[in-house]
Amino acid sequence: MADDRFPGWHGTTILAVRRGGKVVVAGDGQVSLGQTVIKGTARKVRRIGAEGRAVVAGFAGSTADAFTLLERLEKKLDAAPGQLMRACVEMAKDWRTDKYLRNLEAMLIVTDGTDLYVITGAGDVLEPEHDVAAIGSGGNFALAAARGLMESDLSAEEVARKAMAIAADICVYTNGNLTVETISK
């Protein structure tokens, strides 16, 4: 049964590709309100955490909700430096059980250059298969394209950029104005 409070994501595509000792996280810049494009240059991928901004995170969903979650994740990272999985699990627990947080409508992709996780409000901390993860309204398009491109000799960034271009051509809630962050361990 579908949850009517969580109607699905309309307005972004975030893609992460792990290859060659690097993880690239790419996000489009489109913000939509219903059928209208409000902004085309939003930055939905950013570096967080201490240690020289040691984690890259991308978000889909409500911007205010995502910023709240990113702040919480940063606090968890400060409490458990260098332990991304632990910080993600602790934040996911809070997200699921806290009366305020459980109403937040967003999803996150986070990486420290080695580990790669998708975090959801259902309490999931998922490590994707095939070294590719995607979220948002165009996420499935970008995911399918990236998985196909992983059979090529392209770099992680080239795979991410080409897959995001394919998603932007298909999904009306995704544009080609990308923010791309690369991180390695």
By C-alpha distance, which of 11, 43, 2 is closest to 135?
11
* Phi-psi domain of 178 (left: phi exceeds 0; alpha: psi -120 through 50; beta: other): beta
* Phi-psi domain of 27 (left: phi exceeds 0; alpha: psi -120 through 50; beta: other): beta
Pairing of strands 31-33, 22-27: unpaired
In the prediction, which pLDDT does 10 show?
55
CB 145 within 8 A of CB 13: no
Q: Is 114 a catalytic residue?
A: no
pLDDT along the chain (185 residues), means of 10: 44 93 96 86 90 86 90 92 94 89 90 96 92 96 98 98 97 95 93
Residue pLDDT, tens place only, 126-152: 999 999 999 999 999 999 999 999 999
What are the chain's domains?
Answer: 32-171 (3.60.20.10)
Query: Which tokens in the block code for residue 105?
Result: 């409508």
Residue pLDDT, tens place only, 3-16: 444 444 456 899 99
In the prediction, which pLDDT does 5 show?
47
Query: Which tokens in the block code for residue 108?
Result: 């996150």
In the prediction, which pLDDT does 102 show?
82
pTM of the model: 0.91
In the prediction, which pLDDT does 52 show?
61
Q: Which of 12, 13, 111, 174 is catalytic?
A: 12
In the prediction, which pLDDT does 51 show?
65
In the prediction, which pLDDT does 157 show?
98
